Amino acid sequence: MLGTLFFIAAYGIYKTRNTKNIETYLHDNNERKWWEIGLGVMATQASAITFLSVPGQAYDDGMRFVQFYFGLPLAMIVISVFFIPIFYKLKVYTAYEFLENRFDAKTRTFTAGLFLIQRAFSTGITIYAPSIILSQLLGWNLHFTVLFIGIIVTLYILSGGTKAVAVTHKQQMVVIYAGMFIAFGYLIHYLNSFAGFSDSLKIAGTLGKMNLITNGQTDHGFDWSDRYNLISGLVGGLFLQLSYFGTDQSQVGRYLGGESVKESRLGLLFNGLMKIPVQFFILLTGILVFVFYQFNQPPVYFNDVALQNAKTSVYADSLRIKTDAYKAAMQVNAGYTKLLADKLKSDNDIETESAKQDLQKSFLKSDSARIEVNAIIQKANPGIDDDHDYIFMYFVMHYLPVGLVGLLFAVIFSASMSSTSSALNGLAATFAVDIYKRYIHPEAKGKTYLNASKLFTVLFGALAIGFALICSLFDNLIEAVNIIGSLIYGTILGIFLTAFLIKRVRGNAVFVAAIISELVVLYIDFSVRYEWHLPTIQIGYLWYNVIGCLLVMILSFCFSAFQSRRIPPLIK
Amino acid sequence: MEENNKYWLKWYLLVAGFLILQIIIYYFITHQFEN
């Protein structure tokens, strides 16, 4: 593990030792090929959280999370058509520079500010997620692990900026996918002694985990609070991914480093082709872990530290009773799972159907026993939530050979490095270009500008580490990151789409519209989350992106009726 | 210019077509394995 990581970091530093100017540090001299952009974009999005949380998501909620990514290929097309040509034409360093050309300085600063807040917080979670799990599995102190990961990544970017991020994404992707493929192979190998691949999927389907396409319909019509279904994935997902890839500097920085418009477009379209199959594969790995634990006794709780705490707490006695009940239920469950596997081999439809029903009944019992155990453990450990994010690493630790465990830890570290480094680079670039050079030191250039950008990388690294140190574990980390993004992305996207599509709107109109829209989105989420007892709407978070974006566009269009008739410079 | 547009249109259709194909495949997988 250490060998892999040091090779990646050392290679990044070696290849970027000549980074002496601001263009290379922030913008990478525009020399990346399409496949490097495609891999960079994918590595940036695939944080450590993806590999920890997505298999756990499948284990708990089935395959339907794949629908979250359905809007992504469409977003890649829209960005290729509208965003990339404009960014290239205006030769911008950050996406927000364009907003000053189109609107005014305050809209640019407001949007850059929204990005800085959202991304700094998300980066904190990106550092925190692997830290908490690695600290538990390796027995390291949590704060030490957060500092270790945070400092290594910050130093790594400092040594070479965007180029260090870009040149090592390829190596990191190789390590990441090699690790995942090997884990997948081992799962198939272990399951083979009980059931073949197809029968394993049938067992998962019997227990409701093969729900790849869901329509969100209930007896009362479409369920707007349902988080993942075909419609929310295509529409809400499109808006979320449009804002993430079109306006988030951690991604814009990746493809603006392309050699030409063509390379950038091909890189994004490559991502549009590859992303869903990749996520499908990671979710499928989670499903196989789930089936594996139907045959083999799973731990009572996948977060071992929390379990040990509960065992020594005042709840120890009730935990012991519930644990025994859960273990007994899982043993019965394993018996029914084996029976179904045998019946599936026999091709006897009637017996198979009856075995399916038996398994479903026994699974309901074992699942409710698991919920009871979880409730006690959570009572004994205030502030912690589910153990989803620990499931995959627990399997890796206990069932894979030691060398491979090391490789998969390297996967987690390198995924964390790639997404954190892109995010810190994006934060530093945005602060340097949109705040420092715009307001503090407009004459800055050459070495002063480069040094200031490096200083901002250190400051944002420290800020993200600070967030990571005070961050408490969310229900599910991948959802936490996406929810935080959705609170802000809709407004940012609305500002950009207004800029592209509604020519009559100018600075003041869009600025006021953006502030109102952001407040509305925050109200919708907070009023439900914190039970404000005020009128509220319960909707899945993917829809925040649609609401925020459309509100900015509609309101700014209305407000534009009150603006002066002076024509803005860009449209003249 | 028109040649260029045709080139990109082919790419966009490929990406969108692949998305539709995947949704169809996933729909059949759901029906094949679920319950």
ipTM of the complex: 0.95
Q: Which tens digits make up the pLDDT trace of A270-282? A: 999 999 999 999 9
Which chain B residue is nearest to residue A230, measuring alpha carbons? B23
Which chain B residue is nearest to residue A74, measuring alpha carbons? B16
Query: Residue A290 burial by CB count (10 A; 0-12/13-18/19+): exposed, middle or buried?
Result: buried
Position A534 scores a pLDDT of 81
Q: Which tens digits make up the pLDDT trace of A47-79? A: 767 777 899 999 999 999 999 999 999 999 999
Q: Which tens digits make up the pLDDT trace of A498-521? A: 998 998 998 899 999 999 999 999
Q: Are strands A221-222 and A217-218 parallel, antiparallel or unpaired?
A: antiparallel
Closest by CA position to A30, among listed A251, A260, A267, A262: A260
**Residues in chain A closer than 8 A to B32 (CB atoms):** 205
More confident residue, A510 or A92: A510
Is B8 touching A (CB cutoff 8 A)? yes
Q: Which tens digits make up the pLDDT trace of A296-345? A: 999 999 888 788 888 998 999 999 999 999 999 999 999 999 999 999 98
How many contacts, defined by CB atoms under 8 Å, are there between A and B?
61
- Is the pLDDT at A165 greater than 70? The verdict is no
Return the residue in A72, A77, A214 with the most chain B beta carbons within 10 A, the one to mutate for interface testing: A77
Query: Residue A378 burial by CB count (10 A; 0-12/13-18/19+): exposed, middle or buried?
Result: middle
Nearest to A77 among B16, B29, B33 (CB): B16
Mean pLDDT check: name the lowest of A70-84, A109-123, A141-155. Answer: A141-155
Percent share of chain A, pLDDT over 90 = 41
Token code pair at residue A211: 């729900």
Is B13 touching A (CB cutoff 8 A)? no
Is B28 touching A (CB cutoff 8 A)? no
Closest by CA position to A34, among listed A315, A294, A261, A308: A261
A contact set with B (CB within 8 A): 66, 70, 73-74, 76-77, 80-81, 201-202, 204-206, 208, 210-213, 230, 265-266, 269, 272-273, 276-277, 280, 356
pTM, two decimals, is: 0.86
DSSP string, A246-270: HH-HHHHHHHTTBSSHHHHHHHHHH
Question: pLDDT averaged over chain A?
Answer: 85
Position A571 scores a pLDDT of 45
Return the residue in A79, A210, A287 with the most chain B beta carbons within 10 A, the one to mutate for interface testing: A210
CB contact under 8 A, A205 and B33: yes
- Is the pLDDT at B26 greater than 70? The verdict is yes
Percent share of chain A, pLDDT over 70 = 89
Position A78 scores a pLDDT of 95
Position A122 scores a pLDDT of 86
3-state secondary structure A276-318: HHHHHHHHHHHHHHHHHHHHCCCCCCCCHHHHHHHHCCCCHHH
- Is the pLDDT at B9 greater than 90? The verdict is yes
**Residues in chain A closer than 8 A to B27 (CB atoms):** 212-213
Amino acid making up residue A471? C
Token code pair at residue A360: 């479903």
